[in-house]
Amino acid sequence: MAVAEGEVRRGAPVSGGRRRERRMMRVTEGVTNRGREWSTKTVAEGVANRRREQRTKTVAEGVTSRRGRGKRGRRSVTAMGGAGIGQSLRHVTTLPPRMQNLVMRCPMINSRGAEQMDDEDESIRKMKAAEEALEEKQKQKPSFELSGKLASETNRVRGVTLLFNEPAEARKPDIKWRLYVFKAGEVLNEPLYIHRQSCYLFGRERRVADIPTDHPSCSKQHAVIQFRQVEKEQPDGTLLKQVRPYIMDLGSTNKTFINDGPIEPQRYYELREKDTIKFGNSSREYVLLHENSIGQ
Protein backbone atom coordinates (compact mmCIF):
# COMPACT_ATOMS: atom_id res chain seq x y z
CA MET A 1 0.00 0.00 0.00
CA ALA A 2 1.37 3.33 -1.04
CA VAL A 3 1.88 5.99 1.62
CA ALA A 4 1.32 9.61 0.75
CA GLU A 5 4.10 12.07 1.22
CA GLY A 6 4.19 13.47 4.66
CA GLU A 7 2.14 10.67 6.24
CA VAL A 8 3.49 8.08 8.61
CA ARG A 9 2.27 4.59 8.55
CA ARG A 10 0.98 3.20 11.81
CA GLY A 11 3.37 0.96 13.52
CA ALA A 12 6.12 2.32 11.43
CA PRO A 13 9.11 3.74 13.15
CA VAL A 14 8.92 7.54 13.67
CA SER A 15 11.77 9.57 12.45
CA GLY A 16 13.69 12.06 14.62
CA GLY A 17 12.12 15.08 12.89
CA ARG A 18 8.61 13.86 13.62
CA ARG A 19 9.47 13.35 17.26
CA ARG A 20 10.70 16.90 17.51
CA GLU A 21 7.52 18.22 15.94
CA ARG A 22 5.39 16.30 18.43
CA ARG A 23 7.45 17.58 21.34
CA MET A 24 7.10 21.12 20.12
CA MET A 25 3.35 20.67 19.76
CA ARG A 26 3.12 19.35 23.34
CA VAL A 27 5.22 22.21 24.69
CA THR A 28 3.09 24.71 22.78
CA GLU A 29 -0.11 23.14 24.07
CA GLY A 30 1.28 23.18 27.66
CA VAL A 31 2.25 26.82 27.41
CA THR A 32 -1.16 27.67 25.98
CA ASN A 33 -2.94 25.76 28.73
CA ARG A 34 -0.79 27.41 31.39
CA GLY A 35 -1.58 30.83 29.88
CA ARG A 36 -5.27 30.07 29.96
CA GLU A 37 -5.05 28.87 33.54
CA TRP A 38 -3.07 31.98 34.55
CA SER A 39 -5.53 34.28 32.81
CA THR A 40 -8.44 32.55 34.54
CA LYS A 41 -6.67 32.78 37.88
CA THR A 42 -5.89 36.47 37.32
CA VAL A 43 -9.52 37.22 36.47
CA ALA A 44 -10.72 35.30 39.54
CA GLU A 45 -8.27 37.14 41.78
CA GLY A 46 -9.38 40.48 40.32
CA VAL A 47 -13.01 39.66 41.09
CA ALA A 48 -12.08 38.55 44.60
CA ASN A 49 -10.08 41.75 45.16
CA ARG A 50 -13.03 43.84 44.01
CA ARG A 51 -15.29 41.97 46.42
CA ARG A 52 -12.82 42.50 49.25
CA GLU A 53 -12.58 46.22 48.46
CA GLN A 54 -16.37 46.47 48.37
CA ARG A 55 -16.67 44.67 51.72
CA THR A 56 -13.96 46.85 53.28
CA LYS A 57 -15.69 50.00 52.03
CA THR A 58 -19.03 48.79 53.41
CA VAL A 59 -17.58 48.04 56.84
CA ALA A 60 -15.67 51.35 56.93
CA GLU A 61 -18.82 53.29 55.97
CA GLY A 62 -20.73 51.49 58.70
CA VAL A 63 -18.11 52.44 61.31
CA THR A 64 -18.05 56.08 60.12
CA SER A 65 -21.82 56.36 60.19
CA ARG A 66 -21.89 54.91 63.70
CA ARG A 67 -19.34 57.48 64.87
CA GLY A 68 -21.45 60.32 63.47
CA ARG A 69 -24.68 59.28 65.11
CA GLY A 70 -23.68 60.57 68.53
CA LYS A 71 -25.09 58.91 71.58
CA ARG A 72 -27.65 56.91 69.65
CA GLY A 73 -24.94 55.63 67.37
CA ARG A 74 -22.75 54.69 70.32
CA ARG A 75 -25.52 52.62 71.80
CA SER A 76 -26.05 50.83 68.50
CA VAL A 77 -22.33 50.04 68.32
CA THR A 78 -22.43 48.70 71.87
CA ALA A 79 -25.45 46.62 71.05
CA MET A 80 -23.59 45.28 68.00
CA GLY A 81 -21.49 43.08 70.27
CA GLY A 82 -23.67 40.09 69.33
CA ALA A 83 -24.88 39.11 65.92
CA GLY A 84 -23.98 42.42 64.17
CA ILE A 85 -20.25 42.29 64.89
CA GLY A 86 -20.09 38.55 64.36
CA GLN A 87 -21.63 38.94 60.91
CA SER A 88 -19.23 41.75 60.05
CA LEU A 89 -16.21 39.76 61.25
CA ARG A 90 -17.11 36.88 58.93
CA HIS A 91 -16.55 39.28 56.04
CA VAL A 92 -13.41 40.73 57.62
CA THR A 93 -11.66 37.34 57.53
CA THR A 94 -11.42 37.63 53.76
CA LEU A 95 -9.42 40.89 53.96
CA PRO A 96 -5.63 41.28 54.09
CA PRO A 97 -4.10 40.96 57.58
CA ARG A 98 -3.49 44.71 58.06
CA MET A 99 -7.02 45.58 57.00
CA GLN A 100 -8.43 42.83 59.21
CA ASN A 101 -6.65 44.31 62.27
CA LEU A 102 -7.83 47.83 61.46
CA VAL A 103 -11.46 46.84 60.95
CA MET A 104 -11.52 44.56 64.00
CA ARG A 105 -10.12 47.33 66.24
CA CYS A 106 -12.71 49.92 65.19
CA PRO A 107 -15.74 48.29 66.85
CA MET A 108 -13.71 47.62 70.00
CA ILE A 109 -12.53 51.25 70.25
CA ASN A 110 -16.01 52.56 69.54
CA SER A 111 -17.56 50.20 72.06
CA ARG A 112 -15.10 51.34 74.75
CA GLY A 113 -15.81 55.00 73.98
CA ALA A 114 -19.53 54.32 73.99
CA GLU A 115 -19.32 52.55 77.34
CA GLN A 116 -17.32 55.45 78.80
CA MET A 117 -19.85 58.00 77.51
CA ASP A 118 -22.72 55.90 78.83
CA ASP A 119 -21.03 55.84 82.26
CA GLU A 120 -20.66 59.64 82.22
CA ASP A 121 -24.29 60.08 81.16
CA GLU A 122 -25.37 57.74 83.94
CA SER A 123 -23.37 59.75 86.50
CA ILE A 124 -24.94 63.01 85.30
CA ARG A 125 -28.40 61.48 85.50
CA LYS A 126 -27.75 60.30 89.07
CA MET A 127 -26.49 63.76 90.10
CA LYS A 128 -29.55 65.44 88.63
CA ALA A 129 -31.83 62.95 90.33
CA ALA A 130 -30.11 63.61 93.67
CA GLU A 131 -30.46 67.38 93.24
CA GLU A 132 -34.14 67.07 92.37
CA ALA A 133 -34.73 64.83 95.39
CA LEU A 134 -32.98 67.36 97.66
CA GLU A 135 -35.03 70.25 96.28
CA GLU A 136 -38.22 68.28 96.72
CA LYS A 137 -37.24 67.45 100.30
CA GLN A 138 -36.55 71.10 101.08
CA LYS A 139 -39.91 72.10 99.61
CA GLN A 140 -41.64 69.64 101.89
CA LYS A 141 -39.97 70.99 105.06
CA PRO A 142 -42.49 72.51 107.44
CA SER A 143 -42.34 76.30 107.73
CA PHE A 144 -43.07 77.80 111.13
CA GLU A 145 -42.87 81.40 109.93
CA LEU A 146 -45.96 83.58 109.74
CA SER A 147 -47.06 84.40 106.23
CA GLY A 148 -49.96 85.90 104.35
CA LYS A 149 -53.20 86.37 106.21
CA LEU A 150 -51.93 84.79 109.43
CA ALA A 151 -49.07 87.30 109.64
CA SER A 152 -51.41 90.19 109.02
CA GLU A 153 -53.84 88.91 111.65
CA THR A 154 -51.10 89.06 114.32
CA ASN A 155 -50.53 92.76 113.47
CA ARG A 156 -54.12 93.90 113.74
CA VAL A 157 -55.44 96.48 116.16
CA ARG A 158 -59.20 97.02 116.54
CA GLY A 159 -59.81 95.22 113.25
CA VAL A 160 -57.24 97.28 111.31
CA THR A 161 -54.03 95.81 109.97
CA LEU A 162 -51.07 98.02 110.81
CA LEU A 163 -48.64 98.94 108.04
CA PHE A 164 -45.55 98.58 110.23
CA ASN A 165 -43.99 96.51 112.97
CA GLU A 166 -41.80 97.88 115.71
CA PRO A 167 -38.12 96.92 115.36
CA ALA A 168 -36.17 94.93 117.92
CA GLU A 169 -34.36 98.07 119.09
CA ALA A 170 -37.63 99.88 119.97
CA ARG A 171 -37.44 101.53 123.41
CA LYS A 172 -39.35 104.10 125.43
CA PRO A 173 -37.44 107.38 125.51
CA ASP A 174 -35.73 108.55 128.69
CA ILE A 175 -36.21 112.18 127.66
CA LYS A 176 -39.60 113.85 127.70
CA TRP A 177 -40.08 114.71 124.03
CA ARG A 178 -42.91 116.98 122.92
CA LEU A 179 -44.52 118.12 119.66
CA TYR A 180 -45.73 121.69 119.48
CA VAL A 181 -48.43 122.18 116.84
CA PHE A 182 -48.49 125.42 114.85
CA LYS A 183 -50.97 126.70 112.26
CA ALA A 184 -50.44 129.99 110.48
CA GLY A 185 -47.71 130.78 112.99
CA GLU A 186 -49.88 130.28 116.04
CA VAL A 187 -49.63 127.52 118.65
CA LEU A 188 -52.65 125.23 118.85
CA ASN A 189 -53.69 123.88 122.22
CA GLU A 190 -51.28 122.09 124.51
CA PRO A 191 -48.14 120.28 123.24
CA LEU A 192 -48.33 116.59 122.36
CA TYR A 193 -46.32 114.51 124.84
CA ILE A 194 -44.64 111.63 122.98
CA HIS A 195 -42.48 110.06 125.68
CA ARG A 196 -44.98 107.65 127.22
CA GLN A 197 -44.60 104.87 124.60
CA SER A 198 -42.06 103.68 122.05
CA CYS A 199 -43.94 104.72 118.89
CA TYR A 200 -46.69 107.07 117.72
CA LEU A 201 -48.78 106.57 114.57
CA PHE A 202 -50.07 109.55 112.55
CA GLY A 203 -53.03 109.25 110.16
CA ARG A 204 -56.73 109.67 109.45
CA GLU A 205 -57.69 106.19 110.76
CA ARG A 206 -58.73 107.11 114.28
CA ARG A 207 -59.11 103.49 115.35
CA VAL A 208 -55.35 103.01 115.26
CA ALA A 209 -53.83 106.51 115.00
CA ASP A 210 -52.12 107.76 118.14
CA ILE A 211 -52.11 111.31 116.76
CA PRO A 212 -54.99 111.85 114.25
CA THR A 213 -54.37 113.99 111.18
CA ASP A 214 -57.79 114.79 109.75
CA HIS A 215 -56.70 116.68 106.65
CA PRO A 216 -58.02 115.03 103.44
CA SER A 217 -54.53 114.91 101.92
CA CYS A 218 -53.27 112.70 104.75
CA SER A 219 -53.39 108.91 104.46
CA LYS A 220 -55.14 106.63 106.92
CA GLN A 221 -51.76 105.46 108.22
CA HIS A 222 -49.50 108.26 107.13
CA ALA A 223 -46.29 108.08 109.19
CA VAL A 224 -44.87 106.85 112.48
CA ILE A 225 -42.43 108.30 115.02
CA GLN A 226 -40.36 105.43 116.42
CA PHE A 227 -37.93 105.64 119.34
CA ARG A 228 -34.92 103.38 118.82
CA GLN A 229 -31.92 102.49 120.93
CA VAL A 230 -28.77 103.16 118.89
CA GLU A 231 -25.07 103.58 119.55
CA LYS A 232 -23.68 107.08 119.21
CA GLU A 233 -20.00 107.93 119.06
CA GLN A 234 -18.88 110.38 121.70
CA PRO A 235 -16.20 113.09 121.27
CA ASP A 236 -13.66 110.86 123.03
CA GLY A 237 -14.31 108.05 120.54
CA THR A 238 -16.35 105.82 122.82
CA LEU A 239 -19.76 104.45 121.89
CA LEU A 240 -22.77 105.29 124.01
CA LYS A 241 -26.23 103.77 123.70
CA GLN A 242 -28.99 106.32 123.38
CA VAL A 243 -32.73 106.25 122.62
CA ARG A 244 -33.34 108.58 119.71
CA PRO A 245 -36.52 109.60 117.82
CA TYR A 246 -36.90 108.54 114.17
CA ILE A 247 -39.71 109.11 111.69
CA MET A 248 -40.78 106.88 108.79
CA ASP A 249 -43.32 107.59 106.04
CA LEU A 250 -45.60 104.56 105.55
CA GLY A 251 -46.03 104.97 101.80
CA SER A 252 -48.45 107.89 102.01
CA THR A 253 -49.93 109.46 98.90
CA ASN A 254 -48.80 113.04 99.60
CA LYS A 255 -45.54 112.37 101.47
CA THR A 256 -44.08 113.45 104.77
CA PHE A 257 -41.81 116.49 105.11
CA ILE A 258 -38.96 117.35 107.50
CA ASN A 259 -38.05 121.03 107.42
CA ASP A 260 -40.02 121.36 104.15
CA GLY A 261 -38.04 118.53 102.51
CA PRO A 262 -39.89 115.29 101.47
CA ILE A 263 -38.56 111.99 102.80
CA GLU A 264 -38.56 108.62 101.10
CA PRO A 265 -41.14 106.07 102.26
CA GLN A 266 -40.29 103.01 104.35
CA ARG A 267 -37.04 104.51 105.66
CA TYR A 268 -36.12 105.77 109.11
CA TYR A 269 -34.94 109.37 109.37
CA GLU A 270 -33.48 110.61 112.65
CA LEU A 271 -35.21 113.63 114.17
CA ARG A 272 -33.34 116.38 115.97
CA GLU A 273 -34.45 119.03 118.35
CA LYS A 274 -36.41 121.88 116.70
CA ASP A 275 -37.11 119.89 113.51
CA THR A 276 -40.41 120.79 111.82
CA ILE A 277 -42.65 118.00 110.50
CA LYS A 278 -45.54 118.30 108.03
CA PHE A 279 -47.94 115.64 106.66
CA GLY A 280 -49.38 115.86 103.15
CA ASN A 281 -50.81 119.23 102.18
CA SER A 282 -51.88 120.09 105.72
CA SER A 283 -50.85 123.53 106.94
CA ARG A 284 -50.18 122.25 110.42
CA GLU A 285 -46.56 122.12 111.51
CA TYR A 286 -45.22 119.91 114.31
CA VAL A 287 -42.08 121.20 116.01
CA LEU A 288 -40.05 118.69 118.02
CA LEU A 289 -38.74 119.83 121.39
CA HIS A 290 -38.08 118.30 124.80
CA GLU A 291 -38.24 119.36 128.43
CA ASN A 292 -34.70 120.73 128.44
CA SER A 293 -34.96 122.68 125.22
CA ILE A 294 -33.82 126.28 125.55
CA GLY A 295 -36.37 128.97 124.75
CA GLN A 296 -39.40 126.74 124.52
One digit per residue, the tens of pLDDT, for the chain of length 296 reads 444 444 444 444 555 667 766 766 765 666 556 656 655 666 567 666 777 777 777 666 665 665 555 445 444 444 444 444 445 445 445 556 666 665 565 555 555 655 666 677 787 888 888 888 777 766 555 554 444 444 445 678 888 889 989 999 999 999 999 999 999 889 988 899 999 999 999 999 999 999 999 999 999 999 999 999 999 888 888 899 999 999 999 999 999 999 999 999 999 999 999 999 999 999 999 999 998 876 55
The answer to whether residue 78 is domain-embedded is yes
**Whether residue 51 sits in one domain with residue 111:** yes
The answer to whether residue 114 is domain-embedded is yes
Return the pLDDT at 89: 46
**Whether residue 107 sits in one domain with residue 180:** no
**Whether residue 192 sits in one domain with residue 113:** no
Nearest Cα neighbor of 52 from 85, 93, 80 is 93
Nearest Cα neighbor of 226 from 198, 253, 203, 205 is 198
**Whether residue 157 sits in one domain with residue 101:** no
Which residue among 119, 145, 168 closes a domain? 119
**Whether residue 276 sits in one domain with residue 222:** yes
Give the separation between CA 180 and CA 268, rounded to whole angstroms: 21
3-class secondary-structure state, position 88: helix
Domain count, the chain: 2
Q: Specify the CATH number for the domain of residue 233.
A: 2.60.200.20
Return the pLDDT at 253: 94
* Distances from the Cα of 235 to the Cα of 232, 238, 240, 244, angstroms: 10, 7, 11, 18
Return the pLDDT at 110: 54
Return the pLDDT at 254: 96
Return the pLDDT at 292: 84
The DSSP bridge partners found for residue 151 are none
Return the pLDDT at 125: 82
**Whether residue 172 sits in one domain with residue 62:** no
The answer to whether residue 54 is domain-embedded is yes
**Whether residue 95 sits in one domain with residue 52:** yes
Q: Which residues of 155-180 are buried (b: 16+ CB within 10 A; e: fewer)?
A: eeeeeeebbbeeeeeebebeeebbbb
**Whether residue 241 sits in one domain with residue 176:** yes
* Distances from the Cα of 183 to the Cα of 119, 129, 257, 275, 278, angstroms: 83, 70, 15, 15, 11
Return the pLDDT at 281: 95
Domain with 252 in it: 153-290
3-class secondary-structure state, position 96: coil
* Contact (CB, 8 A) for 222 and 189: no
The answer to whether residue 186 is domain-embedded is yes
**Whether residue 275 sits in one domain with residue 158:** yes
The answer to whether residue 136 is domain-embedded is no
